[in-house]
Amino acid sequence: MHPTLARQLRRLCGVDSEADLSQYLDNLQQAKLSPELRLFVEGLQELLKRVDSTYEQSDRDLMLRSRSLEQSSSELNEINQKMRGDIASRNRVLQSVREAASRLLDQSEQVHRIPDADDLEGFSSLLSTLIEQQEQRRLELFNQRFAMDQHAIVSITDTQGIIRYVNDKFCDISGYARDELVGKNHNIIHSHEHDHHFFEALWNTIIAGKVWRGEICNQSKSGHPYWVNATIVPFLDDHGKPYQFIGILTDISASKHMAEKIIASERQHRNLIESVSEVIFQMDSEGSLLFLNSAWEAITHFTIAETLGRNFLDFVHINDFDQAVSIFKNLCDKTIDTYKGELRFNSKTEKYCWLELTLQSEIDEDTNTLAFTGTLNDVTERRRIAQVQSEFVSVVSHELRTPITSIRGALGLLDAGMAGPIADEPLKLIKIAHKNSQRLVALVNDILDMEKLMAGKMSLNMDYINLASLVELAIESNSAYAHTYNTRFELCDHPSGIKVIADADRLMQVMSNLFSNAAKFSPPDRAVEISLSIADNKAKVSVRDHGAGIPIEFRARIFSAFAQADSSDTRKQGGTGLGLKISKTLIEKMGGNIGFESELGVGTCFWFSLPLANSP
C-alpha cells in the first residue's frame, strides 16, 4: 500500500497497517450483510486499490517531472551559454558591420544617416545600400577600364619596374605575348633613343608621387622602334608612398613620322624659298614686315635684320608712295583681294629699282587677323629693255615706215608703167622689189600693232556688228589676194542677223590674217571654205583649207610671235610670223576665243568665236 494512502487510513479510519486493512475487509466479507452492504464492501476494496494505484502513478509522474525539470534546467543553461555566445558574436558582427559601413561611407559621394549602435536592421539596410553603390562604382570602373583598354596602351608596374599588367594593345604594339611581359622588367621594351638622364628624370618624378607626361620611343620584339605619348601615374598607399605605377600610352608613331616629313618638307621649302630670285615676304595688317627671304638683300641691298619689323612703305620710292598707300588701303578694306603691278622701291646702293609687286590678303588662322603675303620680282632690266624696245619702235614708226611707204609707192608706179615702158629684165627686178617692199611695210605695221597690244595702248572701238555682213566684206576684200594663189573663198553656212559686239576694223584685220593664211597654204583650184555657226550663245567663224596641215611639233607654239612652221615654206608663201599672235590677242581682248584643228595631208581649220549680243 502506498504510504500516503496508509497514512490517510490510519488518520481517518484508525487502520494502522495494510495487514489490519486486509483483516477488516475480510471480516466484512464474511459477515452476514445485506446485498447492498456486501456490494458496498466489495466496491470499497476496489476503490482502495485504485486509490493506491493512483498514488503510485502520482509518485511515478512526480519522479518523471523531477527528472524533466533537471534535464530542462541543464538545457536552459546550455541555451543560455549559447545565447550569450550568439550575443557576443552579434556584437562583434555589428561592430564589423559598423566599421565596414564607416569605411564605405568615407568612399561614398552621398550623405547617409548612421543607425544607432544596436540597430542591426538599420546597419544591414545601410550596408546593403552602400554595397549596391560600390557595385555600381565597380561596374563603372570596369567600363572605364574597358573603354581605356580600347583606346590606350596600358601597363602597370611596381616600384622595382617589374611589369604586373599589360592590356591587349600593349601586346599588339610591342609584339610580345602577355606571359613574355608580366614579371619582366620594363627595360625589355626600351630603345636606345633616350639617354640615362631622360629615364633618371622620369623615375625621380614618379617616385616622388608626381605624374609624368612625355613622349617615349620604345622598341618592339622585332627590333622596330615605336613612339608613344605617355602619362605615368603613381598609385599611393595610406602613407602617400607609391606602390604601383600605371602607364597610359597612345601610339604616335604615324604622327611622329609625319612630323619628321613636315620638318623635312619645311626645310626643303625654306631652301627653295631662299634659292629663288624673287623676294617672298609676309607682313601684318599694319604693313610691318614679318618675313623676308635672302633675295631681298640681293635686290635692295638692305639686310633682312634691319628690314624686319619696319613698314614696307618705308622702302617705296617717294614717287610711288601715294599709289602704294592706296593699294594697301584697298587691300585692308577688302575692296580688292590681290594686287599685281610695278612700283619703284628704294635701294641701299642705287637710286631705286623697279619691282613687280604681287600682294594678297589672307586671314591668320591663329589670331584671326588680316595678314599679307607677296612677292617682289626685279624688273629693272626688263623695264630698261622695254624702254629700248619702245624707242626702237618709235624709230621704226617715224624713221622707217615713212620712207618704206614712199619706196613702195614709187616701185608700184614703176611696176604699173606710169614712168613709161621698161625692159623685161629691169621690170622683173622692179616687181621683186615692189613685192618685198609690200612685205616690209606689212612687217612694220605688224610690229607696231604688237607693240601697242603688249603695252596696252591699242584702244578698241567696240560696237554692235552684223557678223555675216562683215564676213562677206572680208571675203570680197581678200578675193583678189586669193586669186594670186589660184584659189577662192567659198561661204558655206552663213545664218543672217548674227550680232556681236566687237571692233569692226580689228575684226576685219583678224579675218584678213586667217583668210590670207588659208589662201597661201591651199592647193591650187581648191576653195577655202568659210562658215558661220551659233553654239552655246556664241557666234563662230571657221576658215578651212585643204593644204598639207600643221606639223604636230609646231602646233603648241603656233600663236607665238614670229612662229613659222617652215622657214623655207614661209619664204615661198610670204608672211611675218606675227599675224596669228596679233589675231589671238585681238580676239581675246574682244572677249572671244580662237583655235584650230589640223590633220596632216587633209587640211587645217582656224576658227574664232565671240559672244552673241542682244540687239541694241
Query: How confident is the model over 239-257, as pLDDT tens digits?
Result: 889 999 999 999 999 888 8
- What is the structure's pLDDT at 574? 54
- What is the structure's pLDDT at 41? 75
Question: 155: closest CA among 232, 255, 241?
Answer: 232
pLDDT band at 189 (very low <50, low <70, confident <90, very high): very high
The H-assigned helical ranges of 396-535 are 401-415, 424-455, 467-483, 504-520
Dist CA 608 CA 583 (whole Å)? 9
Dist CA 86 CA 80 (whole Å)? 10
Query: How confident is the model over 264-301, as pLDDT tens digits?
Result: 888 888 888 787 889 999 999 999 999 999 999 999 99
Among positive and negative, which fits the CA dihedral 336, 342, 343, 348?
positive
Dist CA 30 CA 25 (whole Å)? 9
Give a three-class secondary structure readout of 37-57. HHHHHHHHHHHHHHHHHHHHH
> What is the Cα gyration radius of the chain?
62
Contact 376, 356 (CB under 8 A): yes
Dist CA 516 CA 287 (whole Å)? 55
Tell which wins on pLDDT, 62 or 128.
Answer: 62
pTM: 0.41
> What are the Cα distances from residue 350, in Å, to 152, 279, 301, 454?
64, 18, 9, 29
Query: How confident is the model over 347-369, as pLDDT tens digits?
Result: 988 788 999 999 998 887 777 78
Contact 229, 249 (CB under 8 A): yes
- What is the structure's pLDDT at 562? 61
- By percentage, how much of the chain surpasses pLDDT 90? 38
Q: How many residues does the chain have?
A: 616
The grid cell for 60 is 511515478
Taking residues 402-431, report their average pLDDT: 80
**How many CA atoms lie less than 13 Å away from 472 in the CB half-sphere?**
11
Question: 458: closest CA among 474, 445, 477, 440?
Answer: 445
Contact 584, 471 (CB under 8 A): no
pLDDT at 77 over 60: yes
Please report, as a single letter, which amino acid is at residue 28: L
Residue 564 phi/psi, 5-degree rounding, is -140, 135
Map grid coordinates 590677242 to a residue.
Answer: 585
pLDDT band at 450 (very low <50, low <70, confident <90, very high): low
Dist CA 404 CA 398 (whole Å)? 11
Please report, as a single letter, which amino acid is at residue 304: I
Map grid coordinates 587633209 to a residue.
Answer: 602
pLDDT at 566 over 60: no
Ranking 94-98, 548-552, 567-571 by mean pLDDT, the lowest is 567-571
pLDDT band at 616 (very low <50, low <70, confident <90, very high): low
- Average pLDDT over the chain, rounded to whole? 84
